[in-house]
Structures are given as structure tokens and as C-alpha cells.
Amino acid sequence: MMFVSLAIPASALSRTDKLISQSIEYLENGDYIVREVFEPLIQPRSSKTGSAVETYRNSNCTAIWAVKVTGTFTYTGSTSSATSSSASVSIYNPNASFVSKNASYSGNTARATGSVKYSGYTVPLTASVSCDKNGN
């Protein structure tokens, strides 16, 4: 049996958020990207806030940087739409430097794209979060 522990950056998760999903993409160089979606435990009716975080980690499991999108949505049971989005970039490694960030929303999806310079390359990540017609 093997136990793997992934530390979630404190800025990505508050005590009132719950983890909805998590996935990992392994890169050819041994590094990997952790994708996580969160939502607050308490939500108002007919509107919802959610966030998604993509964290770039090296092969030693050390977080290098992350991009986070927070989106606000309305839903009716028959339709849903994004009404706002915001982006943030967190840098955890002194060898990484901020390049850019951008937030957008369209339809029922909020997106954030962030870029950093790391190991001589400009590395972009895009985090997105969506809401369906039932508020999921």
C-alpha cells in the first residue's frame, strides 16, 4: 500500500471550502500539474461561487506556482451562466517569476490564465470552473 500526500496551498483553500474534484497530469520531464475544484460549504440560492486551482509541482512534489480562478454563477434549473471571474497567481519557488494573469468568463465557465518564467521557459496554466443548470 502506498500513501501519497499532496499539500494544498493555504491560499487555495479556506476552512469553509470543500474539495469537489482533483486530478493530476504528469509531464514528460517528471513534473506534474494538480487540478482542484472547490466550492464554499454555504451558498445562496440561485447563485453560486466556485474556484479552481492548477498547481505546478516539480518531480520532488514541491509546489512551484499556481493559478486560481474564482467564478460567480447564476442558475435556474434550466440554464446557468457565469457572471464574474477573477484570477490570482501564487509563486512558491524563488526561481519562478510572475509574467501575466488574465481572467475571463463566457457561457457557464469562468477561466484564469497565468504565466510564469521557470527554468528558462515561460509556462502558462489555465484553470477553469463551470456551473451546470442545477448549480453543480
C-alpha cell at 97: 517569476
Which of 125 and 44 is assigned the larger pLDDT? 125
Q: Cα-flanking dihedrals φ and ψ of residue 10, to 5°?
A: -60, -30
User: Are the CB atoms for 12 and 27 separated by under 8 Å?
Assistant: no
Is 125 a residue whose pLDDT tops 50?
Answer: yes
pLDDT in tens, 14-68: 567 899 999 999 999 999 999 999 999 888 788 899 999 999 999 999 999 999 9
Strand extents, DSSP E, the chain: 17-26, 32-40, 47-57, 63-75, 80-91, 97-106, 109-118, 121-130
**For residues 50 and 68, what is the distance between their CA atoms, to the nearest angstrom?**
11
CB of 91 within 8 A of CB of 105?
Answer: no
Cα-Cα-Cα-Cα dihedral sign, residues 38, 31, 25, 73: positive
